[in-house]
Every structure is written in C-alpha cells, then in structure tokens.
Structure 1
C-alpha cells in the first residue's frame, strides 16, 4: 500500500515538472529578439559634436526605447549613460544625476565592466565640476581598469588633462593632450584633436605663452570649421579674441570677435536654446512618466498574485507531502554529494595553487628575459659599433675575415634578442594592433623585395598571387602584418633551395566596410613531418637538431607569427609533407575605406647627406657608448659634445646651439624622457632623437609625447643611424622652408 502511494506521488511530481518545463520552453520561444542599437550611438555622437543637441537627444531616446523593447539591459545602461553625458554638455547636472541613478539601479543586477567603467567616468566628471579634482583623478583611474575601449580611453585622457589643468599640473596635461593630437580614434579622431588643441591653447594662455596659445587656438578653429563643430568654433573664436588682444594684435582680435557675434546671431541664439531645453525637458519628463507607469504595473501584478496565494497554499501543502516522502532518498544522495564536494574542493584548491604558481613563473620568466634582453643591448652596442669602426679603418685582409665574422655574430645575437623581447611584449600584453590606413599590396611587395636577395642565393623563385578585388585602402596594422610576412616568407626561403615560394592574398568576403582576406605562403621545400607539426609553433623549434645545424636560426620566427596573429584574433594553420613542401595560411578581418590615401612605405629610402660641419649633443651615461657614438659622428665630419646625464643635457642645450640631440632614455637621475620634456620648454626646434635600448616596459608613444622627433634602438645599423640624423635635420629644414 505504501509503495502504491509513493508511486502515485512520484507521478504527480513528474506532471508538475513537465508543466514547469513546458512553460519555460514557451517563454524562451517568445523571447524578444534584440536589436543592434550601436548605429544610434554613432549618429548621436555625430550630432553632439556638431552641437545639434536636440537631434542627439531624440536619437539616444530612441536607442533607450529600442533597448527596453528588446530587453537589452546592457544597451539600456549604455543609453542612460550617453543621455547623462549629453545633459552634462548642456549644463543640466540635475538631469545627468537622474539618468546616472537609473543606470546605477540596473548595474546592481548585472556584471558589466564596460558599464561600470562608464559609470565611474561620469562620476569623475561630476566631481571635477564640483572642484573635487583629486577624487576625480582617483575615479578616472578606477574607470581605466574596467574599460579598454579605445574611444572611451581617449575621452578619458581628455577629461584627465582638464583635471590636471585645474590642478596646475601642466606637464601631465600637456603629455595627455599631445598624445590626443596624434590619436587614431575610429569615431572621434577630428573631434578629439580639436579638443586637444583647444585645451592646449587654454593651458598656454594660463602660463602666458601667448604665441603658443594662438597657434593651438588657430589649429582648433580650423579643425572645428572643417568638421562643423559649432561649439568649438565659438570657443576658439572667444579664446583667440582674448589672446590676440593681450598680444596687441587688435585687428586679429576684432576679426575673431566679429566672427563670434555673427555666430551667436545665426546659430547660438535664443530660439536654439529654447528648442534644446524643450527637447531635453520633454525627453526627461516622458521617461519619468513611463517609469511611474512601469512601477504601477508592478503593483498591479503583486495585487493579482495575492489573490492566488490561497491556491498556492493548498498546492504547497500537497507539494510538501511529496517532498517528505522523498526526503529519505534525498538525504542519502546528499551525503554522497557532500563527500564528493569535499573532494572537489580539495582538488580545486590544489589546481588554484598550481595555477598561481604557473602565473608567477610566467611573470618571473617574462621579467627575467626582458631584463636580460635589455641589459645585453649595451655591451652588444659596443661590439657592433667597434666592429663597424674597425671595418671602416681599412684593416688588413686577414683581419677583415675575422671582423666580418664578428659583425655577423653580433647581428645574429641582436636579432635573437629582438625576437625574445618581441615575444615577451606580446605575452605580457604590451602590444596591441594599430588601426591606420595603408595599401596591402605595397606592404607585401616591399617584404618580397627585401627578401629577393636571399631567394636568389637559394636559387628560389618568389611569386605573388594578389587578388585584384582587394580594396586599395585598408584599415589595420601594416607594421605587424609586415613582420608576419617577413617571418613566414623568410622561413620558406630558408628551407627551399632551387624551388618556388608562392605568396597568395585572396578576398574571401566583403560586407559593407568589413572584409576578410585569406593569406597563404606556400613552398616546395623540405617539408615538416606530422610529428613535428604539433610543436613547430613553439619557441626554439625547427623540426630537428640536424635541421637546426644545417639551416641555422633560433626557431622563434613561427612563434612570433603565431603571437602576432593572436593580436588580430586570427590563427595560423599548417599543411605539410616531408620532401614535398609546406603551406602556412590564415585569415584576417579588416576594414576598408573609399578615400584615396598616400602609400605608406616601411623601408628606409637611403639618401646621401652632407653631414660636414654639423654639431650634435650626445646624452649618454655609458663611457664606452660615448666613445663609439662620438667616433661614428666624426667619421662623417660631425663634431659633438657629451652630456653624462639628463641634468647636464638640459644645461648644455640652454647654453649651446646644436643641430640635433642624441638622447639616451635610461640614465641615473632624471631619465631621457624627462630631460626631453624640460628641453622642449625652451627649445621647440632642435631635433631630438631617442638613442636607446628599448625594454619591455618602454612605450614609443611616451617618447613622442615627451617631444622626441624619432627613435633609434641600440644597437643599431650604422646606415639607419646616419639616415635618421639626415632625415631629422635636413628633411625637416626643407619642409619648414617650404611652409
């Protein structure tokens, strides 16, 4: 009898479960498809920068409504944040805080780092507006940790610069603004550059550098006019009117004042302000009304649920009876689960400890290799530099052979160090792909031309099959693509003698401005066995010890290719057979644009410069490097002074006139980067070339932002060294004379 009752209870439970499962399935089938609201944000950003505030508000309101219809919580949060920023632009901080609060409620129930970062960014702006600038800086730093979107980061840099300006930290503000002037933002490149120039003009006006303020103000005004940034046109004219008046250039000041009056009469008038205020108030009030309606609906739903409570109590009683009957069985099962969970927790802790140990070991390896690679460059500079000088001093024939062998060994060691440093930078997330305009055909052809001599020495033909349907003007990172092809094609040439290496580039698909390109490097060389194909992309792998001894090399080329392709979210594939050849292929997604652009060359075009009579300053703390660099300059009839550290460099630049300054970065006391910033305060014209051994933590962007004109990495090839000096002295003089 007990068995029959238990059987009946189980059947009731199964029916209940089936009903719940059916309800869940129907609900999932009725789920509302989400709509992509990103185009609304792009359009609103454009309207905002052109000061069409009413249109921007309406566009963002539409985005919020679409996100709510599609139950897109992240999209709704983004819409509320964009509305909050837009109300800030028209100085309605109360409305900004209203939308910010609405986003706060939604963020409590969802894990959304991008939304959290934007939330802290808006809070930082509100803190800055209330003169709590140190709290604003702290909040901006918090936002940086949560959001790595490039457009967000660039706007954050601009806000940070304005906070620094309020705190009178002019050097920090200038560094941020200089980096924004050369930004590569996909969405607001011109707007961010305009804002950077305008803020720099305000900074220079504060420190009474009126000529620099006028120059930056004019740059901002030109960009604002070209792009229709109405608010920036007004602000630029206001600033320039004040600057020219203080400079005593009253005619120019009058022109800017007249422009300002005309602008206010035609655009920034009472009607425009009324329309914007009316639109802003209507959208805010409509949102509040809708929010009240939503709350009332929830109250109604709760009231209806109360009427069903009695029925729920009866069903609950029946359900409890069923649960009681199953309790004994569940208890036994739970005991087994508890024992299993204890075991799993123990194993998880062991795995956690092992993982932490592996992470620490990886970090230690990365830091060790980076330090060793960097420190090896200084003595290697002495080896390669002295070898070059000795070869130029007409050594005897029996000495030439030894010196050439020494030069080859130095170059080989330098390439090896560079490969290790490059892999470490990728592993440590120190590299990210750029996004610049370039011509793919030109990039591949330049790589092929640079490797043609190696192919000839192996009696190997280099063939390019390039799809004519590939657009000319693409957006991606041509420098890293060039490195990928250099390693793959060079690798195929090395293992192919008397054969053919074919490079294939083919357009796979094109949707709007997104394209996917297929690449392949194919050879008929020695091939790779199936066993070795599994490890060929790992560091220091070349197939076998015999291959390494016969063909040479470090085995890092394919590791670098694999690491670089990971930056593009792509993967290298391999097909190969022993004695028949190998084929390496991959796909990369890029964007293309219709406008024509100048071709970008990545190879140095050698020029013959007459260096005679030039006088340079060498900033270097290493005595051997001082002697070598000075000797190399004297070989081309150049004279030089030596500064042992950054302080001496600043003093020498103040007291003397130099055609260029060769600046080491890593020095005791103040760094070369800090010395450059100080020199640029009183000398804007003398070319400064960073002559340094770049480490894992160094950033080329920070060198340029500090005021360096160019960078030459030590140890360097002499022809590159002389070429850089010529370009930065003579070519820039020629450009200035033309302008």
Structure 2
C-alpha cells in the first residue's frame, strides 16, 4: 500500500513540476511577446554561448525556451538535460539552493527512464558541487563512475577539465598536465574554443605552481587571446590575473603592471554590475526558497490526501500551489525587470566611456603613425642627396685628405639610413602593418645565404661562423623566408659585432613533427663579451645596448634585438637569452612551421645575385619631381655612359613613354598630381614589357605589394647603395622578371 501511495505521490509531483516549468516558459515567452522560432538544439547552443560569455541571465532564458519545446515534444531526455544545464548555470552564479532544486528535479525524472548520459551528467554535477565544497577526493570518485556510464565526447571533455582542476588542487601535477594538454587540442563540437581557453588557464596555473614562469606567461597569453576573440569575460579576467602574477615572479614588472592594470580596469567596469547581480541572486534565492517551501507543504498535504483518496482536495491544493507559484513568478519578473532597466542604463554609460577611451587611443596611434610616416619620407629625400653626392665625389679622384672626409661622410650617411630603416620597421610592426607571408622555402638555403652575406664582417673581426643544421628538418617548409632572413641577419650580425677572434654558431634542431607541422629550435651562440645579468632583462628594449661604454665602443643603434623580438612575435613565439660576462651569449627561440611536399623551391635565391652589368648605351627615363634628386640620379647614370630623359611628374612620364623608346623607367612613387603607382598603371595599358623600377623613399604607409600590383618590375629604396642601384637596372634590362601588369 505504501509503495502505491509513493508511486502516486511521485506522479502528482511530476505533474506539478511540469506545470511550473510550462508556466515559467509561458511567462518568459509572454514577456518577449514573440513565439519561439528556433529548435531545441539552437537554444541549447545559444545557452552554451551565453554561459561562456558570463551572460547567465540570457543563458537561463535560452534554457527555459529549450525546456518549453522539450515539454511540448514530450522529450523527457532533453527535459532532464535542460534541468541539468539550469542547475549548472545556478552553480556558476553561486545560487546553490536553486541548483540543488533543479538537480533533484532531474533526478526524479531519471528514475523513470534508462538514460546513461543523463545519469553521468547527474554524477558530474554532484562531483562539481563536492569540488566547490572542498571535497576533491569524493569528487574524483564520482567522476570515475560518470566516465563508466558515458560515451558523449562533450561531457567527457567537461569531466576531463574538472578532473584536471581537481588534480591541480591536490597537487597531482602529472594528471593535471595530461588533462589540460589533451584539452588544448580538443575537437569538441560545442565548446572547442572555451575548453581550449580553460585548458590554457589550467596550464598557466600549473606552470606557476611548478615555477615554470616562461611557460606560464606563454599559456596565459594564449588563453587571453582566445578569451578576447570569443568574449569569454570571466576567462579574460582570470588570464590577466595569471599573467600579472607570472610576470611579477619573473621580475618583469612593466609587463606585470600592464596586466594588473587591465585587471583593475575590468574589475572596476564590472563592480556596479556585480552589485546588481547580487540583487538578482538575492531575489532568485528568495524565490527559490519560497517555491521550495510551498512545494514541501503541498507534498505533505498530497501524501495525506493520497492516503484518504480525496481527489477534490488534491485538485484544490494543486490549484492553490499553482496560483502561489504564479504570484511568486510575477513578483520575481517585476523585480528582475526593474534590475534590468538599471543594468541597461549603467551598461550604456560604461559603453560610452569605453568608446571615448578607445577613440582617444586610436587617434593617438594614428597621430604617431602619420608623424613617423611623414618624418621617415622627409628624411630620406635629403639623405639621398647626401649619400648620392658623396658617392659621386668619391669617384672624381679626390685628394687624400678629401677622401678621408668623404669616407667619414659616407659612413655617417649609411649609419643614419640604417637608423631610419630600423625605426620605420619597428613602428610598422607596432602599427599592425606587417604580417608574415606563407610561401614555400628551404630553411638551410636561407641560413646559408645569411651566413655568406655576413662573412666579410666575420673576417674583419677574425671570427668564424658555423652552421649546425639538423638534417631531419624537412627541406620544404611554409613561412616567410624574408622575415626569417631579417631575424637571423640581426641576430648573427649582433653576435659578430660583440665577438672578436671567436666563434658564432647557428644551431637548428627538429623538436617535434606532427603530420604537416614541425616545431624547430633555433639558437645563435657566440663566444663574445657576454651580457651582465642586470642588463639582460632590458636588452630587447629599444636603444638598449647594455651600457653607454658598449655603445661608444661598438656603435650601432640598439634597435636590432628590438626588431628581432617584434618579428618573432609575428610568428607567435618568444625569444630568450642565456649569457655570462666574458663567456658569450646565446639567443634561442622556437618556431612552429608547416611542411610541404613540393620541390619547386630548391633554386629560389633570397639574396641579390652579385653580377657586373655593362650599362653602356642604355637610354633611361627618370621620373622625379625633386630637382636635386634629378641631378644626382642623372650623374650616376652618366658615369656608366647611360643617356637620360627627365619627367618631373606622372603625366609627363606617361606621354614620354608613349612617344619615345626607353630601355627602362626609374619611377618615383610620391609625386604631386598623378602618383608613380597611377602613372605605372596607365603605362601598362599600352606597354607591358618596358622595365619599370620604383625608385622611391618608402614611408610607413607604403606597401611593396601595391607597387608590384601596379606593374613595377622591381623596387629600389632611396637612399640606396650605388652597386645595388646599378645591379637592379642590369637585372631588369638584361635578365627581366615576368611582368605583372595592372589589370
């Protein structure tokens, strides 16, 4: 008899719960005043997205709509899944009583059907609650039971993440590392980015616990990048906190300060919202307590009525309970609407403040970029006159004393040119105007050519350069060989500058190969003067060379390592340093590159081929608006017995090419009226074979790709070395490349 009563009691309780859920969904739908237009899976997906973005109210709303549709379809499994998800959302808010209420409701439904995945999720929620209440070992036992019941990949990923966090808590670091690393490369169909972000955060926490601070910074940065891309607000907060802690322990206080400021700014912007959320939590908690109290009272009365079989009284009690719950929901919805209005007002205010701050930052960056663009171009033009005239005077048989002065002037001009180029390159990277290419190349060939190009400097310092190359590295890779060349030229050149009568070694090793991806370790080691420990932290900063004495003795701008750090950052890697005074230095980093089976690139040469060309008898058009530059360029060509015509603007250049025959055109890009690019495009409409060489002072906003797209065959940057100038002309006249005319 007691079993019959218990069975009837459970059926009545389920009817009551269905009425509550249906009423809740109807109220939400009525508030929206729009009928549901999506299917259950769409609402489940929407709920996951809002949950990860910490918009719990929107996630609850989506789950209520999913539950509503599941009730209509009589889909008990989805109803159970909805209750479980709502329970998890309440746990995320810290509303444990509400979470328990929905958890128990799901448990009641699970008693009537066989649903292993639902049972596994039930155990997972219980384990999560144990973990939150500082009972990690009990939680691990439940997770093992859940894994036996379940084969759903999404739930297994969630279990793996929780198991990793528990293992980290109880200092089982090897288990934590295994779980987090498996989630970094997860293929979850619902929450791939979110799980990867949480895995990187877990690894960063693990690295800090193990004092692997460089790895902590790397994993924290990866987590922050993913969180910002996907608007995972809570994870952005956690990543900034971890990065601040990691850099502080590393002693990199400037970096730590940046992330700690970010953390304070985020917390400040969320403070008011947290107060409002506290009100929402209080209202929800009161509503949950009242609903729970009412249901318990009705449970007792229903049990008594079942024993006396009084159907009429059961109906009256159900009606009373139904009306009570509706009243509570109405009050709760009214309070929530008031809170939402306040939240929206505060949100609009914060948005306006953030918009103003962002606009100010953008304007500041644009002003800096425009200033550098203008200054770099304006400096190059007079510098071209200095270097060009110096070259011409040196070739006119000056006296011994004059030659010494001219050589000093040439050195100063070259030094200033390199300085301008370095500053321009750093700011081009900072302004996000430089991205790595992805083309085929041969790494050994690139390194060999870099070393060959620096042999003269090595001989001057009586230093040997050696290449220690791992033959297991695939011969055909995909990346940006030109930027890699810049990295190695700067690093090897820097090592040579501070190493006399010693050795510089370039080391490459294959660290890992997985299908079409390889990770390669690079190291540039020297036996030079070394770097003092207190100077190593700032050695990659702009204009930093260790000391004033070193700067005076060895020269240089102190920008080479800054450029290397920025370029390696484009490849999402970090350069590190080991050094000891008097014993040399070692710079090392890792790069992840793609491999390719192609063999078409073995003969690609990334350096200019040294060859003498006889330019005698050529007839060339110089397109240049600056009178001094016209004179210098013409005199340099006349010395090679080349005849010239001069066009002072793009319009004249188009007409002169149309009516005369030239062997080549030297085209300035920046001119009043029609620019060099526009003039090239017009010329290509009627002449696609004439070699056109852009002879220009490139600024921050210029793009070599746009020059080539316009139809130029090659680019020579002013100021230039005379040998490069003559060689480019010879290459394009006597060994022309395939013309790429503008369409």
1:300-339 counterparts in 2 under 5 A? none
Tell me the CA shift for residue 370 of structure 1.
Answer: 2.1
1:716 is aligned to 720
Q: Residue 33 of structure 1 aligns with which residue?
A: 153
- Indicate the SS of the match to 2:671: coil
1:129 equivalent in structure 2: none
Number of residue pairs the alignment of both structures matches: 458
| Aligned counterpart for 2:629 among listed residues 625, 643, 649 | 625
* Alignment partner of 1:608 is 2:693: no
Identify the residue that residue 584 of structure 2 maps to in structure 1. 581
**Do residues 403 (structure 1) and 417 (structure 2) align?**
no
> Which SS does the other structure have where 1:732 is aligned?
coil
Q: How many angstroms does 1:721 deviate by? A: 0.5
Shift of 1:363: 2.9
1:533 matched to 2:536: yes
**Contact 1:619–1:662 (CA under 8 A) maintained in structure 2:** yes
Distance 1:637 1:620 in 2: 20
Which moves more between the two structures, 546-555 or 390-399? Answer: 546-555
**Structure 2, unpaired ranges of 5+:** 1-94, 108-117, 125-145, 156-186, 194-228, 232-314
Partner of 1:564: 567
Which residue does the alignment assign to 1:420?
423
**Aligned pairs (5 A) from 1:358-437:** 358-437=361-440
**Deviation at 1:522?**
1.5
Assess, with a 3 A threshold, how the Cα gap between structure 1 residues 11 and 590 changes in structure 2: closer, same or farther.
closer
CA 1:13/1:323 → structure 2, altered by over 3 Å: closer, same or farther? farther
Residues 370 and 424 of structure 1 are in contact (CA less than 8 Å); yes or no, is this contact kept in structure 2?
A: no
Asked if the contact 1:32/1:71 (under 8 Å) is kept, the reply is: no
User: CA–CA distance in 2 between the matches of 1:526 and 1:342?
Assistant: 62
Q: Which moved more, 1:355-364 or 1:456-465?
A: 355-364
Partners of 1:443 and 1:580 lie apart in 2 by 28
Quote the residue 2:655 is aligned against.
651
CA distance in 2, matches of 1:310, 1:653: 100
Q: Does 1:666 align with 2:646?
A: no
Tell me by how many angstroms 1:14 deviates: 7.7
Q: Which has the larger radius of gyration?
A: 2
Following superposition, the deviation at residue 449 of structure 1 comes to 1.4
Q: 1:446 to 1:21 in 2, by over 3 A?
A: farther
Residues 32 and 70 in structure 1, CA contact (< 8 A), matched pair in contact too: no
Aligned partner of 1:226 in structure 2 is: none
Aligned-residue offset at 1:471: 1.2
Q: Deviation per CA, 1:93-130, whole angstroms, max 9, x where unpaired? A: xxxxxxxxxxxxxxxxxx999xxxxxxxxxxxxxxxxx
Q: Does structure 1 residue 454 correspond to structure 2 residue 454?
A: no
Structure 1 partner of 2:683: 679
Q: Distance in 2 between matches of 1:577 and 1:342?
A: 59
Q: Distance in 2 between matches of 1:418 and 1:445?
A: 24
Q: Give the alignment partner of residue 475 of structure 1, picking from 474, 478, 482.
A: 478
Equivalent residue of 2:511, what SS?
strand
Work out the CA distance in 2 between the residues paired with 1:564 and 1:311: 74
Equivalence for 1:4: none
| Alpha-carbon distance in structure 2 between the residues aligned to 1:677 and 1:603 | 28
Pairwise CA distance, 1:319: 7.5
> How much has 1:379 moved relative to structure 2?
0.4
Note if contact 2:513-2:519 (Cα within 8 Å) is conserved in structure 1: yes
- What per-residue deviation string (whole Å, max 9, x for no partner) do you get for residues 386-423 of structure 1? 00000011100000010000000000111111111111
Cα distance change on mapping 1:16 and 1:465 into 2, 3 Å:
same
Shifted more, 558-567 versus 403-412: the winner is: 558-567
Bigger drift between 382-391 and 561-570 goes to 561-570
1:520–1:20 CA distance, 2 compared to 1 (3 A) = farther
The Cα of 1:717 is off from its aligned counterpart by 0.7
- Please give the per-residue CA displacement for 1:146-202, whole angstroms capped at 9, x wherever unaligned: xxxxxxxxxxxxxxxxxxxxxxxxxxxxxxxxxxxxxxxxxxxxxxxxxxxxxxxxx
Question: Using the alignment, how far apart are the partners of 1:507 and 1:491 within structure 2?
Answer: 24
Matched, 1:706 2:706: no
Secondary structure class of the residue paired with 2:735? helix
Cα separation, partners in 2 of 1:604 and 1:13, compared to 1, 3 Å: closer
1:494 aligns with 2:494: no
User: By how many angstroms is 1:574 displaced?
Assistant: 1.7
8 A Cα contact 1:665 1:673, kept in partner:
yes
**Structure 2 CA distance for partners of 1:714 and 1:468, relative to 1, 3 Å:** same
Partner residue, 1:303: none
Distance between the aligned counterparts of 2:626 and 2:617, measured in 1?
25
2:101 pairs with 1:16: yes
Structure 1 392/585 Cα, relative in aligned 2: closer, same or farther at 3 Å?
A: same
CA contact (8 A) 2:620 2:665 kept: yes
Q: 2: CA distance between counterparts of 1:463 and 1:310?
A: 94
Deviation at 1:461, TM superposition (A): 2.4
> 1:575 touches 1:583 (CA, 8 Å); kept in 2?
yes
Change (3 A) 1:326 1:692: closer
Structure 1 pair 398/350, CA: closer, same or farther in 2 (3 Å)? same
Secondary structure class of the residue paired with 2:685 = helix
Q: Is the 8 A contact 1:423 1:560 kept in 2?
A: yes
Given the superposition, is the C-alpha separation of residues 582 and 310 from structure 1 closer, same or farther in structure 2, using an over 3 Å criterion? farther
Q: Please report how far the alpha carbon of residue 709 of structure 1 lies from its aligned counterpart in structure 2 after TM superposition.
A: 1.1
1:549 matched to 2:531: no
Counterpart CA distance in 2 for 1:692 and 1:69 is: 52
- Measure the CA separation in 1 of the matches of 2:546 and 2:97: 66
The alpha carbon displacement at 1:531 in A equals 3.0
Shift of 1:451: 1.4
Residues 400, 315 of structure 1: CA spacing in aligned structure 2 closer, same or farther, 3 A cutoff? farther
Offset of residue 444 of structure 1: 0.6
Task: Give, in angstroms, the shift of residue 637 of structure 1.
Answer: 0.4
In the superposition, relative to structure 1, how do residues 654 and 581 fare at CA in structure 2: closer, same or farther (>3 Å)? same
Partner of 1:171: none
> 1:512-539, CA deviations, whole angstroms, 9 ceiling, x for partnerless residues?
1211111111223222233322222221
Query: Contact 1:688–1:710 at 8 Å: present in 2 too?
Result: yes
1:570 positional shift: 1.3
Q: Which residue of 1 aligns with 2:509?
A: 506
Q: Does structure 2 conserve the Cα–Cα contact (< 8 Å) formed by 1:13 and 1:322?
A: no
CA distance in structure 2 between the partners assigned to 1:709 and 1:645 by the alignment = 20
What is the rounded CA distance, in whole Å, between the counterparts of 2:547 and 2:343 in structure 1?
Answer: 46
**Offset at residue 627 of structure 1 (A):** 0.2
Q: Which residue of 1 aligns with 2:645?
A: 641
Q: RMSD of the alignment, in Å?
A: 4.1
- Over 3 Å counting, the alpha-carbon distance change for 1:353 and 1:492 in structure 2 is farther
d(CA) in 1 for partners of 2:96, 2:658: 94
Deviations 1:286-332 (A, max 9, x none): xxxxxxxxxxxxxxxxxxxxxxx9999887878899999999xx99x
Tell whether the 8 Å contact from 2:153 to 2:188 is kept in structure 1 after alignment.
no
Q: Which residue of 1 aligns with 2:487?
A: 484
Find the aligned partners of 2:445 and 2:316 in 1 and give their Cα distance.
Answer: 78
Give the TM-score, by structure 1 length: 0.56
1-structure distance, mates of 2:318, 2:656: 89
What residue number does 1:518 align with? 521
CA contact (8 A) 1:438 1:599 kept: no
Once residues 25 and 678 of structure 1 are traced to their aligned partners in structure 2, the CA distance between those partners, rounded to angstroms, is 71
Distance across 2 between alignment mates of 1:18 and 1:571? 46
Q: Deviations over 1:612-663 (max 9, x none)?
A: 1111100000000000000000000000000000111011111110111111
Report SS of the residue matched to 1:475: strand
The separation in 2 between residues aligned to 1:26 and 1:353, in whole angstroms, is 45
